[in-house]
Chains A and B, each alone.
Chain A
């Protein structure tokens, strides 16, 4: 006689409300696509996706000031740290919808594009609040698979297919590292949940060698997703080959979620043993600084240059992870918000230029652009100065807060390498502002195109935001403070 006793777990709907909203909208969209006439596919897809992203923001905002709580038997931890990351991801998704508006190459894949975007954001959102290695891995695969397809969504474009294939293979290797590392950590501690792992380590139940190897493999796996050198090989090809709105979304949201997971898992699970991973993360930061900035100097293609520049920015973000104080978490959050804004803005501008030219954009294609589209050119200057880290842009404050947290946290060498990397960065970021005001190029006729209106408005809005948040950083820093305090009480 078999007795069936299933102990149910209390389902906390509010904990996964954003994921439910995003995924149900994605399913509705895919189902409705069957009945939609082709010319309505893009408008309906964009409207549903934008509505879903806006609706998904409600729960994180409403829960912002709540005390951290766990849900689903300790596998999720809903705190301001995760909710802040969720908000960044949804904002990036919203901007990706707007940037894609009017993209000619997406017209016949519009529904799939928006549905996969929603699914990717749902996976990222789940990852941002995951408190368990199991959930983290599943959520990571969920958003990765959606992104592999999004990179190749224009199935006629060879660069997209090439980029997606490289992303798939290298990304799978990274996921395999993460999985193997998680298994070893489970073997060493007998736990999947971050706080229980920390407890097991504190009680001395963990087994040193296996734990060390597990942590190392988890860091490697996260390094792949955060496009940190030396695990960055896929980044330039995937960023260059992907449709530009997808690149914008990937560069902002994937980075955010990878860094938030790295910070959370290393601090929450292995915070007591920070000596074993601090230097490794620091080394990855230095490698990213070097590879990203030096390789970006040699690029002629703007998307490729920005791809290498994101590798360089990983250096700053990993600096914050290596320092792992509360101030570092705050600095990382501010950096991620500014970084997402300026990167999406820059990629949106590249998308506009791509459509004007009908081919990939080179740095030389911006020559004399200031005399044709002064406002857009001005925005580009804002983005480049901010990426380079010059005042009064947001990127300046972001770098300063990272450096000051690094010096306070006893990792001065990372701040010094970061300053050197910033100086090298000027060498390629400033190429574009100088090209913009080049007078020696004949300026061709360029009638105003209403199709660019939405994307142009996005570019201007992000540029204004990057500048305003640089001049008045207080409110955003306060939000970042709340987020960081919810994870570390130091």
Chain B
């Protein structure tokens, strides 16, 4: 009985907060709804007696990942744009049709038990020892490859985010190519961001070449 009440409450909260994520105009509210959503999912993990997964869900997703989301939103500026403002009607229509097709597919799949009767899990499902076992045996390579993936992403972020490291080396036969001088404003326009700081237009010292 208690189980059912908690399950229904958690599911309702999960659906409501998922709707909140996509329907909020303000990205901050979207992010906060997402936290709510992740916490209700963690509750469902608890109901499945996967306590370690529930804890990891809260710590990693609702904690670390969401903090990063909020940082990004704060950094890019709190833009309360109407998300569907500039989208042509046919694209909206196509999106609705595609979304409806997926919903129908899921309903049909669930109704016809297309996923089969489901697997029974052992008592130990989701306990740290089993998680560790799958990380360090069956999915060892994937686990390690993911760490490389994160490293590459971090290096990439540094490359894109850092300023030019040093004046460029002048080679005797380097053509001083007249390249367009993008300014911060233009870059920001490309990235779709609004700069919250004043933009100074300064010619680059290293551009006059050899």
Contacts from A to B (Cβ < 8 Å): 2, 4-9, 11, 16, 23, 30, 38-39, 42, 72-73, 75-76, 102, 104-105, 107-109, 112, 115-116, 119, 122-123, 126, 132, 134-135, 138-139, 141-142, 145-146, 148-149, 152-153, 155-158, 161-162, 165, 187-188, 190, 207-210, 213, 355-356, 358-359, 449-451
The answer to whether A165 touches B153 (Cβ under 8 A) is no
User: How many Å lie between the Cα of A76 and that of B141 in the bound state?
Assistant: 9
Contacts from B to A (Cβ < 8 Å): 105, 108-109, 112, 114-116, 119, 129, 132-133, 136-142, 145-146, 148-149, 152-153, 155-156, 159-160, 164-169, 171, 173-182, 186-187, 190-191
Point out the residues of chain B lying under 8 angstroms from A132, CB to CB: 142
Point out the residues of chain B lying under 8 angstroms from A359, CB to CB: 177-178
The answer to whether A138 touches B114 (Cβ under 8 A) is no
Which chain A residue lies CB-closest to B173? Answer: A451
The answer to whether B160 touches A6 (Cβ under 8 A) is no
Known A-B contacts: A134-B139, A209-B114. Give 8 more (CB < 8 A).
A39-B169, A104-B171, A135-B145, A138-B149, A145-B149, A149-B155, A152-B160, A209-B109
Which chain B residue lies CB-closest to A146? Answer: B152
User: How many Å lie between the Cα of A271 and that of B24 in the bound state?
Assistant: 45
Instruction: Kindly provide the distance from the CB of B170 to the nearest chain A CB, expressed in whole angstroms.
Output: 9
The answer to whether B129 touches A2 (Cβ under 8 A) is yes
Contact of B133 among A7, A11, A148 (CB under 8 A): A7
Point out the residues of chain A lying under 8 angstroms from B116, CB to CB: 207
The answer to whether A8 touches B137 (Cβ under 8 A) is yes
Point out the residues of chain B lying under 8 angstroms from A209, CB to CB: 105, 108-109, 112, 114
Instruction: Kindly provide the distance from the CB of B130 to the nearest chain A CB, expressed in whole angstroms.
Output: 10
The answer to whether B137 touches A73 (Cβ under 8 A) is yes
User: How many Å lie between the Cα of A290 and that of B78 in the bound state?
Assistant: 43
What are 14 A-B pairs at a CB distance below 8 A?
Answer: A9-B136, A38-B166, A38-B169, A39-B169, A72-B141, A116-B159, A142-B145, A146-B152, A149-B160, A161-B190, A188-B115, A209-B108, A356-B175, A451-B174
Point out the residues of chain A lying under 8 angstroms from B177, CB to CB: 104-105, 355, 358-359
User: How many Å lie between the Cα of A196 and that of B191 in the bound state?
Assistant: 43
The answer to whether B179 touches A6 (Cβ under 8 A) is no
What 4 A-B pairs are tightest by C-beta distance, nearest first?
Answer: A358-B177, A149-B156, A451-B173, A72-B141
The answer to whether A210 touches B173 (Cβ under 8 A) is no
The answer to whether B174 touches A210 (Cβ under 8 A) is no
Which chain B residue lies CB-closest to A159? Answer: B180
The answer to whether B141 touches A16 (Cβ under 8 A) is yes
The answer to whether B115 touches A158 (Cβ under 8 A) is no
Point out the residues of chain A lying under 8 angstroms from B109, CB to CB: 209-210, 213
The answer to whether B171 touches A187 (Cβ under 8 A) is no
Point out the residues of chain A lying under 8 angstroms from B180, CB to CB: 157-158
Point out the residues of chain A lying under 8 angstroms from B136, CB to CB: 6, 8-9
User: How many Å lie between the Cα of A165 and that of B190 in the bound state?
Assistant: 8
Instruction: Kindly provide the distance from the CB of B185 to the nearest chain A CB, expressed in whole angstroms.
Output: 12
The answer to whether A213 touches B105 (Cβ under 8 A) is yes
User: How many Å lie between the Cα of A135 and that of B186 in the bound state?
Assistant: 39
Asked, given contacts A2-B129, A161-B191, whether A112 binds B155 with beta carbons under 8 Å apart, the answer is yes
Asked, given contacts A76-B141, A152-B160, A158-B180, whether A108 binds B153 with beta carbons under 8 Å apart, the answer is no
Which chain A residue lies CB-closest to B180? Answer: A158
Which chain A residue lies CB-closest to B174? Answer: A104
Which chain B residue lies CB-closest to A104? Answer: B174
Point out the residues of chain A lying under 8 angstroms from B153, CB to CB: 145
The answer to whether A190 touches B119 (Cβ under 8 A) is yes
User: How many Å lie between the Cα of A122 and that of B141 in the bound state?
Assistant: 13
User: How many Å lie between the Cα of A358 and that of B133 in the bound state?
Assistant: 56
Contact of B152 among A116, A156, A207 (CB under 8 A): A116
User: How many Å lie between the Cα of A139 and that of B179 in the bound state?
Assistant: 35
Which chain A residue lies CB-closest to B187? Answer: A161
The answer to whether B138 touches A153 (Cβ under 8 A) is no
Contact of A188 among B114, B169, B187, B191 (CB under 8 A): B114
